[in-house]
Each structure stands twice: as C-alpha cells, then as structure tokens.
Chains A and B, each alone.
Chain A
C-alpha cells in the first residue's frame, strides 16, 4: 500500500512550470492492479518516480508500506558495461539479498542462455526487459511499478508476466503505465487517468479507457 497525503509535483519547463500533480490525497491499495493512462507528457513517468521514491514531492508526504520496486521502464537499471550476471550481482548487493538466492529464479525467468555472461550493450530490448523483470520478480517486492516495458516482450514473455502477477495478486500490487488497451485489460482491474495535474481513479477499467478516449479526442 502506498498513501499520498496532499502530494503535489511540478517542474520547470522552458517558459514556465508544468504541473504534474495538483495536491492529491489517495491510496494505492495492497493487491490492487492499477492501470494508469494519460497523454504523452502528462507526467506518468514522474508519477512512477514519485511512487518509487526516486523523486520527492514538492508538497505533501508519500508513505510506502512494504517494499516498492524501482520503475521498470525501457531504459531500465541495467548497466551497459556490465554483463547480465554482474547486473544481477549489483542489484542483489544494493537490496541486501544474497546473489545465490535470487540467481536461479532470474536465470529461469530471463532465459538468456549464454547471453547471461555478455555485456548488456549487445542485448536486444526484449532481452533487457526479460532480465530486468526477472531480477525484480526474484526480489519479491510488495508493489511493482511498470512503465510500458511489458509491451516490448513477445507473447511468451507477456504470458509469463501475467501468470506471475496472477499468482501474487494476494500480496503484491501492480501499477502499470501503458498506452496499450489490450495490455491494460489483461493486467489491471482498476484504472487511473492522469490529465492536467488531476489523478482520477475509476473502479472499472473500461470506464477508465472511455474517459481517456474522450480526453484524446478533445
């Protein structure tokens, strides 16, 4: 569970300030699977960084109950000059989990074969996504923040992601940012629309997508 208490965020852009979030109070419930939609530049990625703790809010307070993943996105936390194995070792060190405990699960999920000992720079985007996912799945967070990245995987990868989140839905929450209606419908139960600094939740995903469709067509 993550609670927002009067949280607001804006940042300077050329010729003024862009408001990402006007003072917002709300709860991201444990076990909820929330799909966040919004136009490009609405601040979805900033919202993810606020949720993860990488960025601090301008006002208000964010409280995290349980361990929240880093925002899994395209650029990821994988260092290009390190091999897959070295990246796993790095993450295991910073989160204080023994490498041996998580390695088999990551290897199994990422399915990289001999690429595990190659530098990340030679990986395809699908391989990077599998590795980053594998690492975060093995760390067993209480809340996963996912920024689009599922979309780069193939059908098999998407199926395995769906299986894992189904398995863990009792104790792990999922907050997913995506532009793909299919992906959102497959992974999420409820939705939130981020528009002009307002974050509005809807208990039904179809309703979320309808509201968002209206915004796009304005």
Chain B
C-alpha cells in the first residue's frame, strides 16, 4: 500500500509532532478508503450533474439502443437469425453488456485529466482517481443492468436467466476486462492525449463485432476468425451461456481475462514508469 505515506495521517487535528513514522497496513488502507470516498463524491457531481436527471440518462441511453434495434429487426426481418424465441432478450442481453463494458472503459479515458488538480495532494495517487471513477461507473452500470434485467423478467413469460452462477461469472469477467482496459485508457490518454479521440473510433467496429445483433456461431468461418479477436464478443457469448438453457457460443473463456490482465499490467506499468509526466500540472 502506501509505504511513503505521511506518518500520523491517522491522527488528524493532532498538533504534536509524531516521532515514530510507522505505517500499518490497516492505517494505509483506511487512508485509501477515505481518499476513494472523497473522489467518488466529487465524481458523482460531474457524472450526473447537480440533479437526478443524470442517472435517468444512464438508463435512457441503452433503452434507446434497444428500441432502435427492435425497429431495425422489424424492418429487416429474417435477415439475421437470432437465437431463441425472443429477439428482444437476445439483443438486450448483448447491448446491456456492451454498454456496461464501454461505459467503464470509455469514461476512464479522462479519469486522470479530469482530476489533475487533485493529484497535487500527495495522498491522492493517480491510481486512486482511476479506481474511484471506475468504481462509480461500475456501480452505476450495475444498477442499470439490474433494472433492465428486472424489466426483462417482467415482460418475458418464461425464465430469463437459466444459469445464474454462469451469468454472475460472466459479469465478473466483463468487469475485469473493463477495468483492465479502463486503467490502460486512463494512463495512456494522460500520456498521449490524442488517445482520448482515437479510442472512441473503435466503438462502432466493436459494437458490430460483439455479436449483439446476430448469432456469432452461425457466421461463416472467415467472419468468425475475425470476431474472435474482440474480447467483448466473448463476454457477450459468456453471458448468453448463462441466460439460455442450451446456447452454443463462440467462446474462449480465458481470452477476455488474459486481454484484461495484459491491459491492466500495461496501464499500471506506465503509471509507475511515467509518474512524473502524469503528475505534471
């Protein structure tokens, strides 16, 4: 944890000079938690504005997506075979997961630059502002996910999630991937600011190749060979294995986890190596 931390940080307001600079793990963790709380509260402001409308928008955005896809589906019926009896469930499962991933990884892009001034305080490390932003986004999107699945459960006549444990594991894997890419994005975008413009360009290709509007396993070999490079596709497929009773996925479980681990390692490595550049105001 914080080895180079101020001794006595745990005794605020105490004026006596403290002679023993000993930092226990527990004290360091308490400081970290305090810092995370403070940044999350600050972030809530900029994420949702100063009223409740902000959170409502987080709900409306994926809802619009789903409605659009249903519309497209109605217009070009039978062109893209979806799985199961209900196309809405098939689309929704994909698009909600995709939004969950892209919200966390995407908002992390400006995690450091939006909080640059706060890095003046030595007890606020670059990692803290990334953790705080990713945590707030994860919490927000989990709430959005839960609300959508409740709605889906209510409008569907049959059971919507057949293997809850698999579903949870798939969500956890997606979270890990999103955090890994998010940490990479936050650090890399601080070092190379144009990354903030380049990364969003991947949005559309990723959306199309994540198997949201079609059944990935039914695609031709050439297309499948391209799709498997997209880690989000594997997450979407993993979630569907959890939803359907007998889904045949295009899925390599370790791939999104390894992808996330590599992104995380690169991000943390750069954060360490270029600490000076990151701190520069």
Contact = CB atoms under 8 A, between A and B. Distances in A.
A139 to B, nearest CB: 8
B18 interface: yes
Contacts of A73: 120, 281
Contact of B15 (A55, A81, A171): A171
Interface residues of B, number: 36
B38 A94 contact: yes
B9 A53 contact: no
A67 B117 CA distance: 21
Interface stretch (A58-66, A107-115, A190-198, A207-215): A58-66
B19 A65 contact: yes
Contact of B122 (A30, A54, A101): A54
A140 B42 contact: no
A70 B15 contact: no
B6 A53 contact: yes
B12 A97 contact: yes
Contacts, number: 98
A52 interface: yes
B120 to A, nearest CB: 4
Contacts of B276: 11, 55
Contact of A171 (B6, B9, B17): B17
Given A70-B121, A76-B120, A101-B13, A65 B21 contact: yes
Interface residues of A, number: 40
Contact of B21 (A64, A79, A80, A86): A64
A55 to B, nearest CB: 7
A86 B41 CA distance: 10
A47 to B, nearest CB: 13
A78 B42 contact: no
Nearest to B41: A93
Given A49-B279, A62-B4, A96-B10, A140 B15 contact: yes
A162 interface: no
A171 B45 CA distance: 38
B122 A70 contact: yes
Contacts of B279: 49, 54-55
The winner among A30, A65, A78 for most chain B CB atoms within 10 A is: A65
A76 B118 CA distance: 8
Interface string A5-38: 0000001000000000000000000100000000
Contacts of A139: 12
Contact of B8 (A52, A67, A93): A67
A1 B120 contact: no
Contacts of A76: 117, 120
B104 to A, nearest CB: 22
Given A62-B4, A171-B15, A77 B120 contact: yes
Interface in B118-139: 118-124
A71 interface: yes
A129 interface: no
23 contacts: A1-B17, A54-B120, A54-B122, A55-B276, A56-B275, A64-B6, A65-B17, A65-B21, A66-B7, A66-B17, A67-B9, A68-B6, A70-B122, A75-B120, A76-B117, A76-B120, A78-B117, A79-B115, A81-B46, A94-B124, A96-B31, A140-B13, A171-B17
Interface of B: 4-10, 12-13, 15, 17-19, 21, 31, 34-35, 37-38, 41-42, 45-46, 115, 117-124, 275-276, 279, 281
The 3 closest A-B pairs by CB, nearest first: A77-B120, A93-B38, A75-B281
Interface of A: 1, 11, 30, 49, 52-56, 62-68, 70-71, 73, 75-82, 86, 90-91, 93-97, 101, 139-140, 142, 171
